[in-house]
Amino acid sequence: MDRNADPDPVRRARLARMKWTAHGLLVAMFVLYLVTGYYEDAHPALGYLRAFAEAGTVGALADWFAVTALFREPMGLPIPHTAIIKRRKDDIGETLADFIATHFLTRDALSPRLERIDVAGVAADWLARDNNANRLTEDVIQILDRIVGGDDNTALRALVSDNLSAAVERVRVTPLLARVLELLVVNDPDDTLLTGLVTLAQNQFDENRGTLRDTVGDRTPWWLPGFVDERIYEKLVSEVETALADEETDGDKRAREHLRRFLIDLIDALRNDASLVTRGEQLKQDLLQHPQLKRYLNTVTRDVSSFFAREVRDPDSAFRRRLAAALAGMGAALADEPNLRDEINTSLRDAAIYVLTRYRNRITRVISETIQGWDADTAADLIETRVGRDLQFIRINGTLVGGLAGLTLYTLWHALF
């Protein structure tokens, strides 16, 4: 800790004035003791004043010693149990940290205080006043600009890309595919997937008639006449078109039911066939290691980053307007929905209690380690600057109370004896 870490001249000046006041009162008591003692024989009544001054001087010296011993050795003498803060700085830090952990960072201490805080209500009121939604939008924009708008955010893009790859790697492919097919086939009474497959087949067949014609000609023997090839092609096309048409119009839906059964068997295999599951995982790993996929992920993250960079720097961008509208809408929703506010407050309270209680030892360790890292002289000086003015009042009170005690005892003595 830097010895010049406390740049507060106001506190230091106030402390210095209180010290001089306490010193001055000590000196005044001592001078009064000397004067009254010198003239007491000629004026016996001065004995009362001398007793007051004598006891006040003793009280002032005792409290001066006590206050000074907290921070340093009185008059530089190595008296035991002095300079307490300097010598016990580390113990004080640990004790303070333990006190905070025991009496503040507990569920019993936090719950009543957090229950009185209406965070959601305060947020709703704040968002509704003085164009605060736009101000918060600007703050969010500044944060996003620092994150994604830098000239070189390669590290961020690499982080996003690596996390996307890691997320995909944790997903088992074949069970996921089985679940998707189950939703599309088993849980779809309207046969949306099957109808789509039929439509796709019809479209592909129509688009590739020429290719099919050429394939028929290439696969038949060379010595067959051309009209035979044409008849084969026409027969093949007719049968396929009839099958696809029957798929849509056949009353008993035999072909569709056959396709459905095939897909259900495939779903079961995707879930339970170990070899198929292994092949799916191997295919996923091959895909993740493919350079083209890595380049694609880098391109995606770069494009997203560039998009946000443009949006946050454009004062009239749609992103800014939507963000401001969303924040304002959130404030209005919080204001109009007390149940929503209660849910948010409860969630925030539970989260705060969880974090503070779970990590209270780490939080308090920061306090103790920070204090341990301070220079002992600087720590004592810093603490004295903060609380020393109040301690000077102890010296002043000790001087006056001591004087009054001495006067009282002196008076009782002469009254009784």
pLDDT score recorded for residue 266: 78
pLDDT digits (tens, 9 = 90+) for 81-102: 888 888 888 888 888 888 888 8
Cβ neighbours of residue 5 closer than 8 Å, sequence gap 6 or more: 378, 382
Q: Answer yes or no: is pLDDT of 156 > 80.
A: no
- Distant-in-sequence, close-in-space partners of 133: CB < 8 Å, separation ≥ 6: 127, 324, 327, 328, 331
375-385 confidence digits (pLDDT tens): 888 888 888 88
Q: Is 80 exceeded by the pLDDT of residue 255? A: no
| CB neighbourhood size of 348 (10 A) | 15
pLDDT in tens, 302-361: 777 777 777 777 778 888 888 888 888 888 888 888 888 888 888 988 998 888 888 888
Exposure string (b/e) for 41-55, b if CB count within 10 Å is 16 or more? Answer: eeeeebbbbbbbbbb
59 vs 172, more confident:
59
Q: Is the pLDDT of residue 289 over 60?
A: yes
Higher pLDDT, 357 or 171: 357
Q: Which two tokens stand for residue 128?
A: 């509704």
Q: Which of 49-58, 137-146, 268-277, 358-367 tops mean pLDDT?
A: 49-58
**Three-state SS across the chain?**
CCCCCCCCHHHHHHHHHHHHHHHHHHHHHHHHHHHHHHHCCCCCCHHHHHHHHHHHHHHHHHHHHHHHHHHCCHHHCCCCCCCHHHHCHHHHHHHHHHHHHHHCCCHHHHHHHHHCCCHHHHHHHHHHCCCHHHHHHHHHHHHHHHHHCCCCCHHHHHHHHHHHHHHHHHCCHHHHHHHHHHHHHCCCCCCHHHHHHHHHHHHHHHHCHHHHHHHHHHHCCCCCCHHHHHHHHHHHHHHHHHHHHHHHHCCCCHHHHHHHHHHHHHHHHHHHCHHHHHHHHHHHHHHHCCHHHHHHHHHHHHHHHHHHHHHHHCCCCHHHHHHHHHHHHHHHHHHHCHHHHHHHHHHHHHHHHHHHHHCHHHHHHHHHHHHHHCCHHHHHHHHHHHHHHHHHHHHHHHHHHHHHHHHHHHHHHHHHC
Q: Rounded mean pLDDT of 391-396?
A: 92
Quote the pTM value. Answer: 0.50
Q: Is the pLDDT of residue 400 over 90?
A: yes
CA neighbor of 399 nearest in space, from 69, 70, 65, 73: 65
Is the per-residue pLDDT at 223 higher than 60?
Answer: no
On the question of pLDDT at 196 being above 50, the answer is: yes
